[in-house]
């Protein structure tokens, strides 16, 4: 991946209780720090554009700050969950790159 620095972490997939079928992975401290380090213009909901790989699936999306933990959360869309056979509460290994 040519752009910026990458980080890899493993964390469980979880469903957001406020909205059925919305699944996320919470970035670990190192990944959240990498997101915070990059200067960028303000965006909606504090979102930060990223390139993500899980297994053989790579896509562009945004991560969002989660106020309670001070970390960021990564939405994992249904197509990715299906392609990579991801189940709720199971660990997911994520490779993440912050985009400019």
Contact 37, 43 (CB under 8 A): no
CATH class in words for 6-98: mainly beta
Cα atoms in the 13 Å half-sphere on the side-chain side of 60: 5
What is the model's pTM?
0.85
The per-residue pLDDT of the chain, averaged, comes to 88
Residue with tokens 């990944």: 31
Q: Classify residue 16 by its DSSP letter.
A: -
Of the two residues 15 and 41, the one the predictor is more confident about is: 15
β 57-66/6-15 pair status: unpaired
Of the two residues 30 and 68, the one the predictor is more confident about is: 30
pLDDT band of 44, cuts 50, 70, 90: low
pLDDT band of 39, cuts 50, 70, 90: low
Considering Cα of 13, then 16, then 22, then 24, what sign does the dihedral take? negative
């Amino acid at each position: 991946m040519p752009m910026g620095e990458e980080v890899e972490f493993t964390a469980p997939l979880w469903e957001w209780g406020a909205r059925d079928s919305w699944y996320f992975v919470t970035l670990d401290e190192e990944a959240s720090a990498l997101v915070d380090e990059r200067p960028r213009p303000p965006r909606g909901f504090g979102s930060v554009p990223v390139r993500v790989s899980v297994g053989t699936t790579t896509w562009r999306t945004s991560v969002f700050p989660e106020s309670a933990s001070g970390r960021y959360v990564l939405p994992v869309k249904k197509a990715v969950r299906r392609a990579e056979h991801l189940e709720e509460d199971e660990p997911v290994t994520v490779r993440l790159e912050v985009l400019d």
